[in-house]
Amino acid sequence: MKWIVLALAILMYVLIVIFPGKKSFFSLGAAALMLILRVVSPGEAFGGMVNWNVLMIFIGSLVIAELFIYSRVPAVIADELIIRSPNVGIAIVAILMMTGIISAFVENVATVLVMAPIALALSKKLKMDPTHFMVGLAVMANLQGTATLVGDPPSMIFADYAGYGFNDFFFYKGKPSIFFAVQVGMVAGAIFFYGFFSKKGKKQIKIEREKILSFTPTVLLILMIIGLALASFFHSGVSLIAGLIVVGLGIAGLIWYRFVRKESGRKVWELVKGLDWDTVLFLIGIFIMVGAVAEVGLLDDFSAFLSGLVGDNVLLGFLLIVGFSTIISGFVDNVPYIIVMLPVAGKLAAQLSLQPELYMFGLLIGSCMGGNLTPFGASANIVTVGLLKKQGVQMSFGKWLRIGLPFTLLTTAAASAFIWFVWR
């Protein structure tokens, strides 16, 4: 049975890599086979393996993100940054950093979609190729998605496994946590992009200001952050209370959208229908599939293999986890990878008598930032390539790599160094 489960897991991974648009179909298919083969029971699968709290936070935050975009608040903030910046280079880097900060609380693809029109309009005004600007939006969004519990599915999965609440992403056991490691990476990334955009001229940019439709979605976003912070004081990990808070605020937002903004029922349905349901279904399948992998003992086997490879060399183990995660995540979806590797990293750290955060943070950094490496390493990258194509700009693998490779190496190295020196 162990070999059958391993073969099916590998087949699932291969199919997801070849046909990323059908990833939910393959993950659910693999999960169904685990149930049919009785590797896991339906009760174990849907009662223990699928984390419904994570899914509630994911869905609720998607709704709030869509309404935040609708409110035009991000566009207005971007306008103010442009107007107040002394030159073109600082204005563009400020937009990229703002994109990252928004993405720490709003889904990455949604962040790119709301900031892309600003970047394209600014590029047209400055008569410059939008490639670096648009790629910058994607990689900065992916980078900061790691910083908080609600930033990206891998962060939610990590929080559930490690028992981290929202506040623990900022400080844990009296030490600066993953949020600050990501900020170190962001500073390195900002310097990287300023080196390019500083050559675009010293003049200020004049633009017409956008108008805010409503501050209500911003209030919902702030309430979500406060609610998750308060929930962290009472429950560790991704709790039922945290899930209910976020999904409740999402429902309140939809009610506001329909009855206060007086948008039609059809528009409400289009908003709900347009959410990333594919990832929700994908996560359900992956939770069950990885649960089956753990059930037959494959994670223990891989942990033992990695332990034998590393020996007692702590630095080698850290570099292997970060480096391997970065490369793999540039080509393979990081959600199933991080679900598989979190217990492996935790066990390896325990065998070496280390704080588990050293290896688990390294895994999170590598698997999230590695998605910046290639044009298909993250959903935000794929969306960006599509947006550029509509502008008549063809983004080849090599062209992306010329930006993504140095950015990924620089930001991953900076964030990893912070983790090593703080948590070693």
Give the domain ranges of the chain: 2-423
Residue that the structure tokens 């306008």 belong to: 79
Q: Count of alpha carbons within 13 Å of 130, Cβ hemisphere only?
A: 25
pLDDT of residue 195: 86
Contacting residues for 223 by C-beta, under 8 A, at least 6 apart:
249
Nearest-5° angle of CA 265, CA 74, CA 415? 120
Residues 324 and 366 sit within 8 Å (Cβ to Cβ): yes
Q: What is the pTM (predicted TM-score) of this model?
A: 0.84
SS3 readout for 4-38: HHHHHHHHHHHHHHHCHHHHHHHHHHHHHHHHHCC
pLDDT of residue 152: 85
pLDDT in tens, 265-293: 999 999 999 888 888 898 899 889 888 98
Mark the ranges of the chain whose per-residue pLDDT is less than 50: none
pLDDT in tens, 35-59: 999 999 999 999 888 889 889 988 9
Residue 330: φ, ψ to 5°:
-75, -15
User: Looking only at Cα atoms, what is the longest distance across the chain?
Assistant: 67
Contacting residues for 258 by C-beta, under 8 A, at least 6 apart:
265, 268
Length of the chain: 424
pLDDT of residue 366: 92
